Structure 1
Amino acid sequence: MTAKSYDLLVVGGGINGAGIANHAAQAGLNPLLVEQGDLAGATSSASSKLIHGGLRYLEQRQFRLVRESLGEREVLLKMAPHLVRPLSFVLPHHAGLRPAWLIRLGLFCYDHLGGRERLPTSYGINLRRHAWGEPLQPAFRKGFVYADCWADDARLVLANALQCQELGGTVRTRTRLELAHREGRQWRAELRSATGQSEVVYTRALVNAAGPWVEQVLKQRLRLGARDSVKMVKGSHIVVPALHPGPQAYILQHQDGRIVFVLPYEGRFSLIGTTDIVHDGDPGEVHCSDAEVSYLCELVGQYFQRPPTPEQVVWRFAGVRPLYDDRSENPSAITRDYTLRLDREGAPVLSVFGGKLTTYRQLARHAMQSLQPYFDRMRLPDNPTTLVGGDLPGGDFEAFLQDARLRYGELEPDLLLRLARQFGDRLHKLLAGVRDTTDLGQHFGAGLYEREVRYLQLEEWAVSAEDILWRRTKRGLHMSAAEQAALVEWMAGSQRYSAGG
């Protein structure tokens, strides 16, 4: 059997890998994206879900990173209006930490450093008189409000992978790079699937976007040296019943220099995070500790009148941020910027160090520019392209939702809102021929129906119940243990049936 050949092999199905593979496909190349687990199965589904400039990075004088990040907010709002939306942040002024003039100066820079079209400028509020101050301790009188964006991180990864595939690229999950070496002007790569099936492919260039595993891939899979390294920093989050009404988020300062967010989440919860702890172990074995839960609850208690307790935590998760090791001793001070290293000794390999959700598109663009000399026919697009699901009339999500409610009026409004947010214009493909809920098949609970589960299996590489419950839909937060177990059992039966023909 003849080995398949590709222009580019991208290792790692997180936001950076998916973004690079998508850009390669847009540029007319034939990329292969491989991910050893599920897409967004690690760091890229364990973020704070923010598309933001990084207000605290101004203090670290990372002006280029902040400027680029601020500009990307508006770009991603246009590219994926179903997945990315504006969010107002309330910053209570803590007089003992930062003077008000310094915060005003920072917000002035925040308002003017990046291009801003849809997002409003910052302003001050009286927390004693404003409704957004009601959940807070009465000691906080002054506050500031500014705008950033929230995003569904895992689905942003999926949208890039789907677009890559639709443009002619190939995406393989549960596929591991075992070994790769140069043969003349190309790479010979050995791949292994989760079922144990091996395959050899050839590629003109290789991108190592393995996140926390980037050094491991370089040294063990490619057998190359690395002059750069990553500092693995664990960030943990907790989810609790909603701490406040309204759509606003809160940004809280801590005396240790950390910033913690309290974000409205999934309609009736609050997402709180994150921590910064150096992680020296296996990046695949990372958990939110009891100490981190206590840390987050205690910090929120310094600001909120009714703070959460560890017993109220309904979900906790942690991810390892593979930050570029700039030798900073304080984990919070390590740069969130990205570094790209190109090894030109023969067939090229580009390794990605660092990066964050907000700047993934710029990272991908710069990665492809680095590889452009090796591909005569590469034609990078001049302007950002709408992501899969984001082709909404006028880019107006609310108008799209209203039209969907007219078209599928027999479905529950909350169900339609969730599906519209998840799938964008692909909602019509999911609901083709649906008149009411009887057409959706078995109901597993919390608005998750058989029609959607099958769609996720067929169209979005979902294999396990975990893929569906905690990455593609977040329905795990809303379903009982018995309901989740029923889905696991159903999927096992469905796969047996499929395997048996």
Structure 2
Amino acid sequence: MTYDILIIGGGINGCAIAREASLLGLKVMLVERDDLAGHTSSASTKLIHGGLRYLEYYDFKLVAEALRERERLVKAAPHIIRPMQFVLPHENAVRPWWMVRIGLYLYDFLGGKMSLPRSRGLRKSDTLYAAPLKHGGSGFVYSDAFVDDSRLTVLNAIDAADNGADVAVGVAVESARREGGIWRATLSDWRTVEARAIVNAAGPWVHQMLGSLGVNASSNVRLVKGSHIVVPKLFEGSHSYILQQPDRRIVFAIPYQGDFTEIGTTDVPVDAPEDARIDDDEIAYLCEAVNRHFTTQITTADVTSTWSGVRPLYDDGASEAKAVTRDYVLELDANGPALLSIFGGKITTARHLAEEAMEKLAPSMGFRAHPVSRARVFPGGAIADFDTFHAQVVATWPFLGEARSLRMAHAYGQMLAEMLGGITDEAALGPNLGGGVTEVEARWLHDREWARTADDVLKRRSKVGLHLSAAETAAFEARWNAMFPREPSYA
């Protein structure tokens, strides 16, 4: 089989590139050795944001680009992305009030014409915002957005597949070599495929992949671990907090899955992608960050779950991990059939990165690159107003129940009509595997979203694992494995 582009890596960048390329009419194959968003792309802070703190490092171009993308994404995927207000308390502050105020004005300015509310100071009437804080209501409020990062990655892959891309999960590239004007690649499932170009979107493994392809890169990558903790809900409301720390870092406290608060992130240099594990110092650091600001105090015993990801940041020579740019570099090796390697990047700018990747590849591959996804809605995202849509879901499938209908409306949006078409009662959903995930939904996740294991569903596609006990998780896994016996792994 011959493709125009073989993409290695099923994180947000690889899936966004697959989407962009397939929309341009190119024949695309994406291979991912584990799960889509199985590593860094499911371990983010789960924000679509311009990066307020990047202004401190004069990264104005990245902030402006990210804010433009934020506006596009909020409109393109309103089921998995929702605007959110962020409270920035001015307590224990290491930056003067005037500096923060100017920074927020600049943030609004760089965002241009936007639908989200602009920044302002905290008011006496903001009792909900001030109530959890130790020192009352001095500070600011600004806007960004929350995203289900795993589902955004999967939606990119679904859109790519719906436009002709082949997506292979659980499949690795064993070897690849240039032969004349093509790449010949051997996959772990024993297939051999040919491609006119390869995109190396292996994330933290980008350098390792280059080595296996026999290519030396001029760019380097800095591996920086970011860890998060989850604790029982610390405050009421749908807003979040951005907390200044004595080391000049910031830590977010974000409502998560209804009953919890997500706290993160850290910035810890690591040596290998496999080092994506939280350590005791990070847990203590995040607990202390919360205790500095909130009246509700937490200890390590309150932590119900954690996640860590290794960010493959472009090495710009910064001395500290927190100062390393979150911008990306696309490195093209055109010594024969093209090889494009992705260094850096972030969830918010993945679509724009994919657009630039096509522009980079177009001259050597002989196709015309032009914008195809800027105004394109993601699968399920054709929703004018989410609350109205959710009410329609409840009315159409009342047997789902309030909690499950809300979860599924957020996860699938308008795709629910395809999943639940013809189903008129709860019995038709089939057995409940656990957490409200029934046979019908499980088959959708397996057949349409490449879920291969219980973890793929519980930790990434649905997040219901957060609400299950160890025994319930084990029961879910047993039921899943009975429905979908594991195929032999060649990776």
Q: 1:291 to 1:487 in 2, by over 3 A?
A: same
Distance 1:481 1:441 in 2: 23
2:218 counterpart (223, 227, 240): 227
Mean Cα deviation higher: 366-375 or 337-346: 366-375
1:14-413 paired onto structure 2 within 5 Å: 14-94=11-91, 96-126=93-123, 130-137=127-134, 139-192=135-188, 197-219=189-211, 221-281=212-272, 283-382=273-372, 383-392=374-383, 395-413=384-402
Q: Alpha-carbon deviation of 1:115? A: 3.0
Q: Do 1:74 and 1:116's aligned partners in 2 also have CA atoms closer than 8 Å?
A: no
Which residue in 2 is equivalent to 1:479?
468
Which residue identity lines up with residue 390 of structure 2 in the other structure? L
Name the amino acid aligned to 1:52.
Answer: H
- Offset of residue 286 of structure 1: 1.8
AA paired with 2:205? W
* Cα separation, 2, equivalents of 1:260 and 1:497: 40
Gapped runs of 5+ residues in structure 1?
none
Q: In the aligned structure 2, how far is the partner of 1:170 from the partner of 1:96?
A: 50
Superposed CA deviations along residues 340-379 of structure 1, whole A, max 9, x for unmatched, are 1001111110000000001001100000000111344445
**How far did residue 497 of structure 1 move?**
10
Q: Counterparts of 1:384 and 1:361 in 2: how far apart (Å)? A: 11
Residue identity matched to 2:168: R
Amino acid at match of 1:45: S
Range with greater deviation from structure 2 (107-116 or 55-64): 107-116
Determine the C-alpha separation between the residues in 1 that align with 2:72 and 2:275: 34
SS in 2 for 1:107: helix
* TM-score with structure 1 setting the length: 0.94
How far the C-alpha of 1:129 sits from its partner, in A, is: 5.8
2: CA distance between counterparts of 1:152 and 1:67?
Answer: 22
Contact 2:91 2:293 in 1 (8 A): no
* Aligned 8 A contact 2:433 2:479 in 1: no
Give the paired residue count. Answer: 487
Instruction: Report % sequence identity.
Output: 46
Deviations 1:232-280, CA, capped at 9 Å, x for gaps = 0000000110000000100001111111000000011000000000011
- The residue that corresponds to 1:490 in the other structure is 479
Q: 1 CA distance for matches of 2:166 and 2:117? A: 40
Once residues 70 and 86 of structure 1 are traced to their aligned partners in structure 2, the CA distance between those partners, rounded to angstroms, is 13
The answer to whether the 8 A contact 2:434-2:475 is kept is no
Q: Distance in 1 between matches of 2:369 and 2:426?
A: 45
Q: Distance in 1 between matches of 2:333 and 2:306?
A: 39
* 1:52 CA drift (Å): 0.3
> Using a 3 Å threshold, how does the CA distance of structure 1 residues 128 and 98 change in structure 2: closer, same or farther?
farther
- Measure, in 1, the Cα distance between the counterparts of 2:478 and 2:433: 11
Q: Secondary structure at the match of 1:288?
A: coil
Cα distance, 1:128–1:256 mapped onto 2, change above 3 Å: farther
Counterpart amino acid of residue 218 in structure 1 = L
Q: Measure how far apart 1:23 and its partner are.
A: 0.3
SS of the counterpart of 1:77? helix
Change over 3 Å in CA distance of 1:495–1:408 after alignment to 2: closer
The answer on whether the counterparts of 2:334 and 2:364 sit within 8 Å (CA) in structure 1 is: no
Secondary structure at 1:323 match in 2 = strand
User: Tell me, what secondary structure is at the counterpart of 1:178?
Assistant: strand
Shift in CA distance, 5/296, structure 1 to aligned 2, threshold 3 Å: same
Deviations 1:105-127 (A, max 9, x none): 00101111123332011111146
- Counterpart contact for 1:37–1:174, Cα < 8 Å: yes
Q: Distance in 1 between matches of 2:335 and 2:175?
A: 18
Partner deviation per Cα, 1:80-132 (whole Å, 9 max, x = no partner):
11111100000000264111111110010111112333201111114696221
User: Compared with structure 1, are the counterparts of its residues 201 and 497 closer, same or farther at alpha carbon in structure 2 (3 Å cutoff)?
Assistant: closer
Structure 1 residues 496, 60: closer, same or farther in 2, change over 3 A?
closer
Whole-Å Cα distance in 1 between the matches of residues 275 and 190 of structure 2? 26
Amino acid at match of 2:407: R
**Segment of structure 1 superposing worse, 241-250 or 284-293:** 284-293
Q: How far is the alpha carbon of 1:287 from its aligned partner? A: 0.7
Partners in 1 of 2:337 and 2:487 — Cα distance?
Answer: 41
Q: Report the Cα offset of residue 284 of structure 1.
A: 3.0
CA distance in 2: counterparts of 1:417 and 1:316, whole angstroms: 24
- Runs of 4+ displaced beyond 6 Å: none
Greater mean alpha carbon deviation, residues 118-127 or residues 311-320 = 118-127
Deviations 1:292-315 (A, max 9, x none): 111100110000001221111111
Q: Structure 1 residues 495, 265: CA separation in 2 closer, same or farther (over 3 Å shift)?
A: same
Aligned partner of residue 283 in structure 2, secondary structure: helix
RMSD: 1.6
Q: Is the 8 A contact 1:23 1:380 kept in 2?
A: no
Shift of 1:496: 3.8
The residue type paired with residue 211 of structure 1 is: G
**Equivalent pair of 1:135/1:306 in contact (CA under 8 Å):** yes
Instruction: Classify 1:297/1:425 alpha carbon distance in 2 versus 1 (closer, same or farther; 3 Å).
Output: same
Q: Which amino acid aligns with 1:25?
A: S
Contact 2:10 2:37 in 1 (8 A): yes
Gap change, CA 1:273 and 1:19, over 3 Å in 2: same
Q: Is 1:429–2:430 an aligned residue pair?
A: no
Work out the CA distance in 2 between the residues paired with 1:495 and 1:448.
15
| CA contact 1:28–1:378 (8 Å) conserved in 2 | no
Residue 467 of structure 1 is aligned with which of 456, 459, 470? Answer: 456
Give the aligned residue type for 1:6. Y
Q: Give the drift of 1:481.
A: 1.2
2 CA distance for matches of 1:157 and 1:168?
17
Q: Deviations over 1:413-438 (max 9, x none)?
A: 22111101001111111212222322
Amino acid at match of 2:208: Q
Between the aligned partners of 2:123 and 2:390, the Cα distance in structure 1 is 35
Distance 2:428 2:469 in 1: 24
